[in-house]
Amino acid sequence: MIDPHTHVADILARGGVSNERALYDWLFNVKKPTIYAMTPDDHAVASALFAAEALRAGITTFVEFPEVFLMWDDESEAILEAKLNEYDSAGLRNIYAQAFRDNDDVPSNLSDFVGHVTRKEPAVEHVPMDASLSGTDAALERIGDVYDRYHDPSPDSRQQVWIAPENVVTATDDGLSAASEFAERRETMTTTHASETVHEEHGELSHVEYLDAVDYLGKRAVLAHCVHVDERDIRLCAATDTKVVHNPLTNLMLGSGVAPVPTMTNYEVTVGLGTDNPSGNDTINPLSDMQYAALIHRADRRDAGAVTAEKALEMATIDGARTIGRADELGSIEAGKRADLTLVGLDYPHLTPSQNIASTLAFQTHGHEIDTVICEGEVVMDNGVVPDIDERYPDLLAESQKRADEVLSRAGLDSMTEREWTSRSDK
Ligand code: FE
């Protein structure tokens, strides 16, 4: 299975810290401060925890969208190396979508909004708005350097690099155009966040229309979310062969809305299934996400045929491979493709009887039934055990909990972990 959009480091901020917060409240009061407080060793443990969970969940390839300020501070290089070492050692395919932000001229309504949501959490060590800001040329130079060092274009590659403007609002016109050119010139891909919440759609043009106007859209472009898009936006994605990542769990958890996926697939837009933020999902579990992806659109459209079980399975596999531009190599079991396989045990009461395997996978599994994962012909998860991580991190769970507690404390989030029983939200 292929996860075309996730944020690995968020994993230390999950477990009930961000409950009931909407996107910007969670983003600026929980997610960014947590990652800002993490050391290279914290990132290594977070990456190992992510890899252990992802492999147990049957993921062989994932696209990481790292936090945007992990490019400029002194520790960034150590953090990058720590992350990539963990993925390499665990044996799953990683695509590192190096993020950048080159626009300090964010619309005043958005700046005000961020000011309002951060003001209510005075104890939090908020990330300075300029911590991640760079000039367009400097960002391109840095990402070119990361690409030159870590992008392996060969078919058996387990490490590739994309370029990722953080989102439509924090990248300039030039930055978005340059990202598209970067991807074209180096035969890689580019990804950004688009139209996740109603708050972001604020201009004369929709996000997708704007991205079309600055020449960002195209077969090498992957847009995460596209929740608040209309039919015209979807036609633009179809006409330009722009890919979309559907992240149903974070959209549900943060109350962002329901992406019009059935309309996208009717227009033959390629839609992959992403896990997005481990602190807004709160799991890395594509089998479970398939169930949500198949069900929420049925309720939303009042149409029991809106998303079929087979389409949900395609979104987690072959459509994910199409999303990342590697359908010739990955995403289905065919002669000549890379040997990436996820074996699902079927001998469970809840999977019996089974008359249609796609339906059983989408609607009956819990996610723990995966017993073996093979990546590039190598067994990387065997009967629930990821040998590499088991060996290097014999106390992974205790160490992850300890580091999470320490990071949250350094970030000023203690009060969020000392929550009283809350039957009615006050947020
Ligand atoms: Fe995201």
pLDDT of 69 above 90: no
Distance 334 CA to ligand 1 centre (A): 31
Per-residue confidence at 107, pLDDT binned at 50, 70, 90?
A: low
Query: pLDDT tens digits, residue range 368-385?
Result: 999 999 999 999 999 999
Q: Would residue 422 count as lying in a domain?
A: no
426 is a domain residue:
no
Domain count, the chain: 1
Q: What is the DSSP letter of 28?
A: I
Residue 346 three-state SS: coil
Q: Is residue 424 part of a domain?
A: no
Distance 276 CA to ligand 1 centre (A): 5
- Distance between CA atoms of 153 and 158, rounded to whole angstroms? 9
Q: How far is the CA of 167 from the centre of ligand 1 (A)?
A: 9
Span 66-82, average pLDDT: 87
- Residues with Cβ–ion distance below 5 A, ligand 1: 224, 276
Which are the contacts of 86, defined by CB distance < 8 A and separation ≥ 6? 44, 47, 48, 51
**198 inside domain:** yes
Do 86 and 44 contact (CB within 8 A), yes or no? yes
Q: Rounded mean pLDDT of 401-426?
A: 90
Which tens digits make up the pLDDT trace of 183-233?
A: 999 999 999 999 999 877 767 899 999 999 999 999 999 999 999 999 999
Is pLDDT at 331 greater than 70 in this prediction? yes
Average pLDDT over residues 54-76: 91
**Span from the CA of 277 to the centroid of ligand 1 (angstroms):** 6
Provide the residue type at 391 as one letter.
E
The mean per-residue pLDDT over the stretch 139-163 comes to 95
> Residue 78 pLDDT more than 90?
yes
Asked if residue 193 belongs to a domain, the reply is yes
> Per-residue confidence at 329, pLDDT binned at 50, 70, 90?
very high
Distance 193 CA to ligand 1 centre (A): 6
391 alpha carbon to ligand 1 midpoint, in Å?
31
For the cut 70, the answer to whether the pLDDT of residue 394 exceeds it is yes
Residue 425 lies in a domain: no
Whether 421 shows a pLDDT value over 90: the answer reads no
* Contact call for residues 13 and 408 (beta carbons, < 8 A): yes
Amino acid 90: pLDDT: 97
> Where residue 15 sits, what CATH number does that domain have?
3.20.20.140
Centre of ligand 1 to C-alpha 202, Å, is 19
Q: Give the per-residue pLDDT at 108.
A: 63
The share of the chain scoring above pLDDT 90, in percent, equals: 82
How far does the centroid of ligand 1 lie from the alpha carbon of residue 166, in Å? 9
pLDDT of residue 109: 64
Listed range (339-353, 388-402, 409-423) with the worst mean pLDDT:
409-423
Ligand 1: centre distance to CA 403 (Å): 23
CA 7 – ligand 1 centroid, Å: 6
Range of the domain at 40: 2-417
Residue 30: how many other CB atoms lie within 10 Å: 26
What is the rounded distance in angstroms from the CA atom of residue 358 to the CA atom of residue 361? 5
Question: Where would I find the beta strands (DSSP E) of 111-212?
Answer: 159-165, 190-194
pTM: 0.97
Percent of the chain as helix, strand, coil, to the nearest 5? 45, 15, 40
Using alpha carbons, list the distances in angstroms from residue 373 to 19, 142, 205, 381.
32, 34, 44, 5
Express each pLDDT in 243-290 by its tens digit: 999 999 999 999 999 999 999 999 999 999 999 998 888 999 999 999
Give a yes or no: residue 427 inside a domain. Answer: no
Is 423 domain-assigned? no
Residue entry with tokens 């840095």: 142
33: which 2 tokens?
């401060």
Kindly state the average pLDDT of the residues 314-335: 97
The conformational region for residue 46 under phi > 0 = left, psi -120 to 50 = alpha, else beta, is alpha
- Helical axes 286-301 vs 309-316, angle rounded to 10°: 140
Kindly give the distance from the C-alpha atom of residue 4 to the centroid of ligand 1, in angstroms, as a whole number. 10
Mean pLDDT in residue range 145-156? 94
- Identify the helix (H) or strand (E) that includes residue 189: none
pLDDT of amino acid 418: 85
DSSP 154: S
Residues 113-138 have pLDDT tens digits of 788 889 989 999 999 877 888 899 99
The pLDDT of residue 169 is 86
Angle between helix axes 396-410 and 40-56 (nearest 10 degrees) is 130
Helix (H) or strand (E) holding 379, with range, is strand 378-382
Ligand 1 centroid to residue 353 C-alpha, Å: 37
Q: What's the length of the chain?
A: 427
Average pLDDT taken over every residue of the chain: 94
